Amino acid sequence: MANDSKTWRCGKYELSFDRPRIMGVLNVTPDSFSDGGEHFDPDAAIEYGLAMLDAGADIIDVGGESTRPGFTPVNPDEEARRVLPVVRALAKEGAIVSIDTRHVAVAKAAVRCGASIVNDVTGFTDPKMVEFVKTSICGVIVMHAGEVAAPTRTHATVQLDTSAAAFVAEKAREAAAEAAREAEKPARRRRGKLLGEPKSEAKLPGGVVQPSLPFGEPEPTPEPSSEQETPAAEQAAAAETVAPAPEAAPAATEAESESNDRLAAMMRRSARREEAYVPTSQLRRFTLPDSAPIMRRVMGFLSDQARTLIHAGVSRDRICIDPGPGFGKTANEDIVIQRETAKMASLGYPLMCAVSRKRFVGAISGVTDAAARDAATFGVCLGAIQAGANIVRVHDVTGFAQFLNGYWAVAKPQPRRAFVAVGSNLGHRCDNIRAARDMIAEIPLTCVSNCSRIYESEPAYETRQDAFANAVIEIKTELAPLVLLDELMKIETELGRDRSKKAKVNGPRTIDLDLLWMDGETHGGKKLRLPHPLIGERDFVLVPLEDLMHDPARFFRYNGVEVKEPEDRVGHIVGELGRM
């Protein structure tokens, strides 16, 4: 019940979560890890975004900067050039558009172009981004992007020589006389003090010293002092993590400017952890690390940032949280986080599952190619949905919509109210309407619960044709909106509706079925718009609706539809033709 009561206000839209919502991924980039720049052209991106809406996406997440491991940061001007035409076109078609960016300038421009959500991969750690969203009404997604290993300690770890020769030599020295060992201790203590050696260390069998490292990436080597001699290999390793002295960098190169990007640097470290971290000397009793320290950092960050936004003036019902799979996390850590979905959902904010085609999905499924990980993605998403995730961010919208519809129909009985407008001006008009009613009642998981009277109306839009017979049917259905629409179009075909290119759009027809409204649904795109964008100007719809509800004009105004006064409407009712 707590899950179903969550709502998310995103600009002029309000999303309910009586069913999971699908966010389609639209990368307007040349270097995405999953689609390789297939939608880099704005026209191709717009076409693909509309196709995802028609396939079942509730939200389109548009991004102009790839944040894959090892990505190259994109200038905000270039990012805006990529995404703004796409955002503008999709918003014009009634889509709920999310802008995936960490740059304030891009977020501002996208919201002006119609974006309803700001998806900040840096979790609104930039005060300027917080300042912007508090003055807008857009929804916000707080994402955790950072390493979840324990914080690095301030003291240094000992650099050990683990080669076989050194081990044999060490054992030989230990086998020497007691006097020789006693003479060696003072020198060893001096070296330990110089390197910052801890006072106590764990030892493995055989006397080998085990350094105490946090789970995840090893700690960086400290910068040596002038009195300390550092091997060449250690100097090379330190060069990757320690910033050069100012005098050593008279001019910033492109590589250096990239290293100054905190997110890019973190993702490079994340990639190295995933590829190079092999804990050969650290034995574990369990298959996964302890969840408590990982979840303290992830949930602590998400809670803190959400509270920061609330204190700044962002209403709680505008905030969604995302644990950020793959961002500064190993496969083991990502699995731990996904298994704790219920705990994150208990924070009370809408929760996003954004695991689509990520590296850890490949690790658990054995699939190397990112684009081939969709089936495994669906499995992970199903686990998250069962544990309380509200929004699922996926690349394959068509496949996941089918997957979700199949699961939801069996697992979650959920009849919802909807209204269908029925019209006819060819043949026996009233008989056509009654036949359509009977066929609607035969749609799977659907029943007819009420019907308006049948009215005669003037033709609308295309006025040189015979008058129409019109009615509205109230139904209850457990089908997804797009699935229900397909069933209605099948009925039109069976009753002789001509939808060929030669037929006039608003010309004569034996039957016309329009899905007007469905409880809890907001949808955009070419195929279906919910609520129907023309309800407010159609007298032949609003008058029959008065038979089914009190004050339909007020009802639809509350749902964000502009309703015109009776004298300004089209297709005015001129008479009554009888009951259904």
Token pair 């805006």 is found at: 80
Cα dihedral across residues 69, 73, 78, 81: positive or negative: positive
pLDDT tens string 417-429: 999 999 999 999 9
| Mean model confidence pLDDT for the chain | 82
Question: Is residue 427 domain-shared with residue 568, that is, in the same domain?
Answer: yes
DSSP E strand boundaries for 64-148: 96-100, 117-120, 139-143
Question: Is residue 404 domain-shared with residue 532, that is, in the same domain?
Answer: no
Give the burial class of 502: count Cβ atoms within 10 A of its Cβ; 0-12 exposed, 13-18 middle, 19 or more buried: exposed
Cα distance between residue 38 and residue 44, in whole Å: 8
Question: Is residue 439 domain-shared with residue 570, that is, in the same domain?
Answer: yes
Dihedral, 189, 192, 198, 203 alpha carbons, nearest 10: -80
For the chain, how far is it from start to end, CA to CA, in angstroms?
37
Q: Which H/E stretch holds residue 394? A: strand 391-394
pLDDT at 250: 38
Asked if the structure places residue 571 within a domain, the reply is yes
pLDDT at 225: 39
Q: Which residue segment(s) compose the domain that 433 sits in?
A: 416-578
Question: Is residue 9 domain-shared with residue 92, that is, in the same domain?
Answer: yes
Residue 538 contacts residue 417 (beta carbons within 8 Å): no
**Among 413-422, 479-488, 494-503, where is mean pLDDT lowest?**
494-503
Asked if the structure places residue 208 within a domain, the reply is no
Asked whether the predicted pLDDT for residue 197 surpasses 60, the reply is no
Question: Is residue 421 domain-shared with residue 382, that is, in the same domain?
Answer: no
Q: What CATH number has the domain bearing residue 566?
A: 3.30.70.560
- DSSP reduced 3-state for 75: coil
Alpha helices in 353-470 (DSSP H): 359-365, 374-387, 397-411, 429-440
pLDDT tens string 530-570: 999 999 999 999 999 999 999 999 999 988 899 999 999 99
* More confident site: 139 or 38: 139
Residue 163 contacts residue 345 (beta carbons within 8 Å): no
Q: Which of 249, 387, 404, 419 is nearest to 323 (CA)?
A: 387
Asked if the structure places residue 381 within a domain, the reply is yes
- 267: pLDDT confidence band, cut at 50, 70 and 90? low
pLDDT tens string 442-458: 999 999 999 999 999 99
Structure tokens at 79: 């990012």
Structure tokens at 412: 């979650």
Asked if the structure places residue 280 within a domain, the reply is no
User: How much is the pTM?
Assistant: 0.78
Asked if the structure places residue 275 within a domain, the reply is no
411, 434, 463: which is the final residue of a domain? 411
